[in-house]
Chains A and B, each alone.
Chain A
């Protein structure tokens, strides 16, 4: 995959959605963006921003979150694909719960912090892959028989018919689930592919804003 150079206006590209999936969920979109970036420790400004975000977030917001349009849209999509959002929490709710339990959004790395800020500001979750392990464009399709999550010898098997995100060689992530072993961003990563899932009810501008937030933070804190 040719990396999209980090510019002032990075535009995510839409990935393919398999026809059998698209016919059921015509508004489901996979958007991705590849950029040169590393994930060192967050600079002070990013950590301060995370702290401000922690201070702004209250328990009442967590309770009312499932009635807000974007978290609600993801909850509904979870139901539609056979997940229970009470047990497999959508990313924003999981993050909100974590914030309430720990008392703050803990700074981890520049990428993690960027994903957290983008998610809390827009409601749209992003994931990141090590772009050097991604071959070809990302797409959504159903897992095939005897497929595994990733290309490692220890890759866990996937249930046939499960919804997965694939590159040109096979599954790299489960939809709203784990990333394949060996495909995640590590301290050695120099190029990363960010991707987002847009579901029915999520306006495109929020997805673009999530990418923009994340890329601007990665760009500001990168080498």
Chain B
């Protein structure tokens, strides 16, 4: 593998190349003349690991839905082509890192979503203690436009009297009518 062909994320590629060169140049270390090292078994193992990580990423993707804003991409290696041992190792590491990052982020969001659910319960139990607080579906990791909003009953009067309640919105705005009704009529 030529050093120029290796991508260098966070210095790991460089490390692989330098180590390979070091081993090749070191006296007394390395392969005997005429002996070829078969790396195919190592590549096969790495491919199996990559397949397993891809499977786990798929499971994470499915369970993460409908949360948005998560980064799933792992940079391509300029394929389609055959990847060398070092490249497969880096791909495996990048996939593992991506998976770990997504799991961390999902755990963090799950914590926030639990807090939001508890907040709704507290808002319902004691609206006056949560004046003007609003929790949206997005805060719960859900799609849709529903939200829970602590508002005064009867507007200003309710504000002055301390009549607070949780108002649950009725969802997303309805779609507009058919397009032809918006089109100007042609005589």
Contact = CB atoms under 8 A, between A and B. Distances in A.
Interface of A: 20-21, 23-24, 63-64, 66-67, 72, 75-76, 78-84, 86-88, 142, 159, 161-163, 174-177
29 contacts: A20-B82, A24-B40, A24-B43, A63-B65, A64-B62, A67-B55, A67-B59, A72-B54, A72-B58, A76-B50, A76-B54, A79-B51, A80-B47, A81-B79, A81-B81, A81-B83, A82-B76, A82-B77, A82-B78, A82-B87, A83-B79, A83-B80, A84-B76, A88-B76, A161-B81, A162-B80, A162-B81, A163-B80, A175-B80
Interface in B68-115: 72-83, 87, 91, 95
Given A72-B54, A86-B74, A87-B73, A81 B59 contact: no
B1 to A, nearest CB: 12
Contacts of A20: 82
A78 B91 CA distance: 12
B81 A79 contact: no
Contacts of B79: 78, 81-83, 162-163
Given A24-B43, A67-B62, A82 B54 contact: no
B82 A75 contact: no
B70 to A, nearest CB: 11
Contacts, number: 81
Contacts of B74: 79, 84, 86
Interface residues of B, number: 27
A30 to B, nearest CB: 13
B62 A63 contact: yes
Interface in B15-74: 40, 43, 47, 50-51, 54-55, 58-59, 61-62, 65, 72-74
A162 B55 CA distance: 26
A1 B140 CA distance: 60
A107 to B, nearest CB: 22
A80 B50 contact: yes
Nearest to A83: B79
Given A23-B40, A82-B77, A67 B83 contact: no
Contacts of B81: 81-82, 142, 159, 161-163
A190 B75 CA distance: 41
Contacts of B75: 84
B80 A79 contact: no
Contacts of A83: 76-77, 79-80
A161 B85 CA distance: 16
B106 to A, nearest CB: 15
Contacts of A174: 80
Given A72-B54, A76-B50, A84 B73 contact: yes
Contacts of B55: 67, 72, 76
Contact of B82 (A78, A81, A87): A81
Given A86-B73, A161-B82, A75 B40 contact: no
Nearest to A67: B58
Contacts of B40: 23-24
Nearest to A86: B73
A45 B143 CA distance: 37
Given A20-B82, A63-B62, A79 B43 contact: no
Nearest to B40: A23
A75 B78 CA distance: 16
Contacts of A21: 82
A176 to B, nearest CB: 6
Given A80-B83, A84-B75, 18 more contacts: A20-B82, A21-B82, A63-B61, A66-B58, A67-B59, A75-B58, A76-B54, A76-B55, A79-B50, A81-B79, A86-B72, A86-B73, A87-B76, A142-B81, A162-B80, A163-B80, A163-B82, A176-B80
